[in-house]
Amino acid sequence: MSDHNPVEGLHQVRAAIGRAATDYDRDPAGITLVAVSKTFPAEDIEPVLAAGQRVFGENYVQEAKAKWPALRERYPDVELHLIGPLQSNKAKEAVALFDAIHTLDRPSLAEALAKEIAKAGRAPRLLVQVNTGEEPQKGGVMPAEADAFIEECRTRHGLAIEGLMCIPPAEDPPSPHFALLGKIAKRHGLKTLSMGMSADFDEAIQLGATHVRVGSAIFGTRPKA
């Protein structure tokens, strides 16, 4: 048990986002805080909901399915974002559960999502994940392939792509990665940039983030998986 208070964490993060918006001349309304609640149980999430936070991020379909339907009954206006890797065989569940998916990164997944979206008559907002650090173990399309993949999603699969997401390598300064993501987005007229986590959301806001994904700064240190 930790004595970390998620509501205090939420208020601190919101204040820091507000300061960053002022510092970098951004409209705070253009920056959405995605509270990343992965690994934390409903009893840690509930007070954050009660404090008014409505946009949450989860990494795993199964975990989200176990935790969120009950919370959503009490907070129907919750917006749930999938920020972890998605297997094509979970596309159906993901389309049913999430309002946004940040991790579209390969043709087979684009095809699976297009099929499930057509069947469900419900379309989560879609972001293409770009592996800006070209790390082999990480999800995301390589930067050199991003242009072709975005086009393929649009023309071949008929998917509306809203924006891009990246997770810079832990050991790199994040800003060049955020700048690269912004540059690719601009080429395609994409308005949504999901970038910045607890350690680097300030830099991300400076470079145009519209969605910052913040977990530990709100909920505390995650237990090691």
Neighbour tally for 97: CB within 10 Å: 19
Give 59's DSSP letter.
S
Q: Give the one residue of 83, 91, 164, 180 binding ligand PLP; rule: CB under 6 A.
A: 83
Q: Smallest gap, in angstroms, from Cβ of residue 157 to ligand PLP?
A: 23
Instruction: Map residues 58-77 to x or -, x wherever contact with ligand PLP holds by CB under 6 A.
Output: -x------------------
34 or 112: CB nearest ligand PLP: 34
* Stretch near ligand PLP under the rule CB under 6 A, chosen from 2-10, 62-70, 116-124, 193-201: 193-201
Question: Which of positions 115-174 make contact with ligand PLP (CB under 6 A)?
Answer: 167
Of 13, 20, 35, 36, the one binding ligand PLP by CB under 6 A = 36
Coil/strand/helix, residue 17: helix
Give the residues across from 172 on adjacent strands: none
209 binds ligand PLP (CB under 6 A): no
Residue nearest to ligand PLP (CB): 215
Long-range (24+ apart) CB contacts under 8 A made by 140-144 are: 140/103, 140/105, 140/165, 140/166, 140/167, 141/105, 141/106, 143/180, 143/184
Least distance (Å) from ligand PLP to the CB of residue 83? 4
Q: Tell me the CA distances in angstroms from 96 to 130, 143, 147, 156, one per residue in order.
A: 24, 29, 28, 22
- DSSP letters for 75-102: -TT-EEEE-S---GGGHHHHHHH-SEEE
Assess 197 for contact with ligand PLP (CB under 6 A). Answer: yes
Min separation Cβ 158 and ligand PLP, Å:
26
Q: How far is the CB of 28 from ligand PLP (least distance, A)?
A: 19
Q: What is the dihedral of CA 168, 173, 179, 182, to 10 degrees?
A: 20
Using CB under 6 A, list all residues that contact ligand PLP.
Answer: 36, 38, 59, 83-84, 167, 197-199, 213-217
